[in-house]
Amino acid sequence: MNYVEGVTRLSRAPVPVHHVLGNHDTTNLSLEELLSIIDVRCLYYSFDVQSFHFVVLYTHVPVPRQRRIILPEGQLAWLEEDLRLSANPAIVFSHHSFAEQDLTGNPWFEALPEDCLVENREEVRRIISSSGKVIAAVNGHLHWNPVDWHDGIPYITVQSATENFNDDGIPANTWGEMRIEQKTFVLEQFGNNPFSHTHSFC
């Protein structure tokens, strides 16, 4: 199975591996199968590295016969409590976007905001902002590299590894590196669509 092979290869990396799951992960696998393959008990979780807190959310929640992306009430409550309990600056990861993105020119989603933006994103942003701890939120799914600011927090969308913005069949070959240096957040992406973002935080 290609998915198992991919997870196995990632597990050989000389660093801890944490998975942020999205819609393609559930195309051919059930949630129970995914939990078993990536060896986690829950699809959303948090962890600390040195003096920073990292939050992984699971935004792809299909509703039968509807095209909706939501963060369920249970996760909203969990996120608020998780950020409240943490004493460290936090970074939030999700597959879908919590930002109010301008989709003009996006070849996949320009006319389909319901297929890429979290429906209750305003409530998610309220929790993130009111915590006073989140220094960045990072997501994928849209296959491009915008940065949208809400309440002084950057919501950063990162490029796909396979599809590029030109949709010409040439893989983007994207991979990225995130660094936190003193009070500066740096995100650099490499491949056929290089991108970088830097901002300071308190």
Q: Are residues 55 and 129 in the same domain?
A: yes
Q: Write the CATH number for 89.
A: 3.30.750.180
Task: Please state, in angstroms and rounded to a whole number, the distance separating the CA atoms of residues 97 and 118.
Answer: 6
Does 100 share its domain with 126?
A: yes
* Domain-located, residue 175: no
Same domain, 120 and 71: yes
- 117 lies in which domain range? 45-170
Q: Tell whether 104 and 147 lie within a shared domain.
A: yes
Q: DSSP letter string over 106-126?
A: -TTTTT-GGGTB-TTHHHHHH
Residue 55 is assigned to a structural domain of this protein: yes
Residue 64 pLDDT > 60: no
| pLDDT over 70 at 93, yes or no | yes
Structure tokens at 111: 């006319």
Same domain, 49 and 146: yes
Q: Is residue 160 part of a domain?
A: yes
Same domain? For 164 and 115 the reply is yes
* Phi, psi for residue 128 in degrees, rounded to 5: -60, -45
Q: Estimate to the nearest angstrom the gap between the alpha carbon of 59 and the chain centroid.
A: 9
Chain length of the chain? 202
**Over the stretch 103-130, which tens digit does the pLDDT of each residue have?**
999 988 999 999 999 999 999 999 999 9
8-31, pLDDT tens digit by residue?
999 999 999 999 999 888 888 888
Give the Cα separation of 155 and 147 in Å (integer).
6
Answer yes or no: do 139 and 165 share one domain.
yes
Kind plus residue range of the DSSP H or E element containing 83: helix 73-85
